[in-house]
Chains A and B, each alone.
Chain A
Amino acid sequence: MTLLIAIFYYMAAASIASALLAVTRRNPVHSMLWVLALFLHVAGIFLLLNAEFLAVVQVIVYAGAILIFYLFVVMLLDLPDEAARPRFGKHWPLAAAVGLAFAALAWPARFGAGLAPASTRVAAEGPRQGNLSEVGTALFGPFTLPFEMASLVLLAAIVGAVVLARRRAAGS
C-alpha cells in the first residue's frame, strides 16, 4: 500500500519534471523525448488508478502513434536556425503568470475537497474497474453514438490532413 503511494508520488514528480523540461527545451527533438517520458509516467498513473485499458491506449496511441508523427514532422521540416532564435516570445512572463494561476488550483484540490462521497469508500475496495470488457461494454452500450461520432471526427481529420498537406497540382 505505502509502496504504491510512493510509486505514485515518484510518477507525479517525474511527470511534472518532464512536462517542464518538454516545454522549455530548445531542441524540439529533446522536447519530444521529454514528452514521451511524460506520456509513459502518465500511463503508469493510469495503471495505479485501475484504468488498465486507458494506460494501454495511452502507450499505443499517444507514445506510439502521435509522438512518432510529431517526430516525423520535426525531421521533415529540418528546422534550420531553431537554436539561434530565442525560445520564448516577448510575453512569456504573462504566460507564466497564467500557468501559475492554473497550477495554483492544485492547492484547493489537494484533499479532493468538495467531492461528493468523500469518506465513505476509502476503506472498501470497489468493484474492479477499467478492464477491457467493462470499457468495451460501456463503449458499445450507452456510448455507441459518441463512439461512432468519434470515428466520424477521425475520418474528417484524415481528409482534412490530406487536403491541407497535399501539394497542389501544376494546373489547378
Chain B
Amino acid sequence: MIVPVGAVLGLSAVLFGIGVFGFPARRNIILMLISIEVMLNAVNLSLAGFSRYLEDLRGQVLALFVIAVAAAEVGVGLGLVIALNRNKPGAAVADLNKLKW
C-alpha cells in the first residue's frame, strides 16, 4: 500500500463537499451538472481507494458502473438543457419558475 487510504478517503470527502457546495450555489444549469460530475468523481475516488485497501476488485467494477451512469446522466441532462434553452434562452435556473406557484 503506497498511498495511505485515509488520505484518499479524506480527499474524496473534500471533493464531495466542493460538489455539494457547487450544486445549490451556482445559478447556471450547466455548472450545476458539472458539480454533479465533481461529486461522482469523488465517489469513484473513494471506491478505488477501498478497492486498493481491501484488495478487492469489486470497488473498481462499481466505479466503472458509476462512470456509465454518469455518461447516461450527462446525455439526458444536457438534452434537457437544450430543450429548456429552446423555450427560454439563457441557462439560469432563476428564470425557470413556470412550475412554481
Q: Which residues of A contact B (CB under 8 A)?
A: 1, 4-5, 8-9, 12, 15-16, 19-20, 22-24, 28, 31-32, 35, 38-39, 42, 45-46, 48-51, 53-54, 57-58, 61-62, 65-66, 69-70, 73-74, 76-77, 79-82, 85-89, 91-92, 94-96, 98-107, 109-113, 115-117, 121-122, 126-127, 129-130, 134-135, 138-139, 143, 146, 150, 153-154, 156-158, 160-165, 167
Contacts and interface: CB of A to CB of B under 8 A. Distances in A.
B64 A54 contact: yes
Interface of B: 1-28, 30-31, 33-35, 37-38, 41, 44-45, 48-49, 51-55, 57-58, 60-61, 63-65, 67-76, 78-83, 85-86, 89-94
B101 to A, nearest CB: 20
Contacts of A121: 1, 53, 55
B48 A46 contact: yes
A82 B26 CA distance: 12
Given A12-B11, A62-B67, 11 more contacts: A23-B34, A48-B2, A50-B52, A54-B44, A95-B22, A95-B24, A100-B21, A103-B17, A109-B13, A153-B68, A164-B80
Q: Is the interface of B mostly helix, strand, loop or mixed?
A: helix
29 contacts: A20-B18, A23-B25, A24-B22, A38-B38, A45-B8, A45-B48, A46-B48, A49-B51, A51-B52, A53-B60, A62-B67, A66-B37, A66-B71, A70-B74, A86-B27, A98-B24, A103-B14, A105-B16, A109-B10, A110-B6, A127-B55, A129-B57, A130-B57, A130-B60, A139-B61, A154-B71, A161-B76, A164-B83, A165-B82
